[in-house]
Amino acid sequence: GENVEQHPSTLSVQEGDSAVIKCTYSDSASNYFPWYKQELGKRPQLIIDIRSNVGEKKDQRIAVTLNKTAKHFSLHITETQPEDSAVYFCAASSGGSNYKLTFGKGTLLTVNP
Amino acid sequence: NAGVTQTPKFRVLKTGQSMTLLCAQDMNHEYMYWYRQDPGMGLRLIHYSVGEGTTAKGEVPDGYNVSRLKKQNFLLGLESAAPSQTSVYFCASSDGGTLGDTQYFGPGTRLTVL
């Protein structure tokens, strides 16, 4: 089955700096890669996703890049703010479908004021 | 729309007791999922359903059963709870289809098994 590795497990940055979280996946058939943000005590919520026919996608301060050849994708957050502090999960579709996801173990991002 | 709701929010069980967690969605989604979240382990898929009357095993199905008798509801059962099942359980749903992959999560159920 699909295996998703996520690094780093914790990341601390100063407000205004950029943050980068990286994930690798094992199944070359995976074609859908969402990122979820989970604030403390809350539910995970989708923040951005990318499909295999696209190399990069941006939404304001958030961007995701995908390298299908190397089987890795990354989340980039620019101009970080304290409210960006949360756990971020990457995921990859598995089993040849887009509806079944395998999640990474998460990255705890702390943005220090 | 309420989105995805879960009941109960918290529960404490003794080893060997049984319980059912209820997930309901009002978005007419085809697909529904049960995950468990443990510290440092991310979200792991327990069971999922691709439509009313269907269920399938995920990554960690042992000790759990599910049913989807109605499209809007997905039930997760623990027949004989064990301390290893102490976790936060999240239900999710998605529309399916080419661009309907987004999974919407419920608020979670925190279960402690003593």
Which is it for strands A4-7 and A19-25: parallel, antiparallel or unpaired?
antiparallel
Q: B94 and A99: CB-CB below 8 Å?
A: yes
Q: Count Cβ–Cβ pairs < 8 Å, chain A vs chain B.
A: 48
Task: Give the mean model confidence (pLDDT) for residues A97-112.
Answer: 92
SS3 at position A19: strand
The model's confidence at residue B96, banded by pLDDT at 50, 70 and 90, is: confident
Mutation choice for B interface testing from A49, A51, A98 by most B CBs within 10 A: A98
A32: tokens are 């859908």
The model's confidence at residue B26, banded by pLDDT at 50, 70 and 90, is: very high
Of A11-20, A23-32, A75-84, B9-18, the one with minimum mean pLDDT is A23-32
Q: What is the pLDDT of residues A8-28, one digit of tens each?
A: 999 999 999 999 999 999 999
Kindly report the average pLDDT of chain B as a whole number: 94
Q: What is the pLDDT of residues A29-50, one digit of tens each?
A: 898 999 999 999 999 999 999 9
Q: B107 and A43: CB-CB below 8 Å?
A: yes
B99: tokens are 């661009």
Q: Give the closest of B31, B101, B108 to A43, CB-based.
A: B108
Q: From CA B103, how far away is CA A85, in angstroms rounded?
A: 22
Q: How many CB atoms lie within 10 A of CB A43?
A: 19
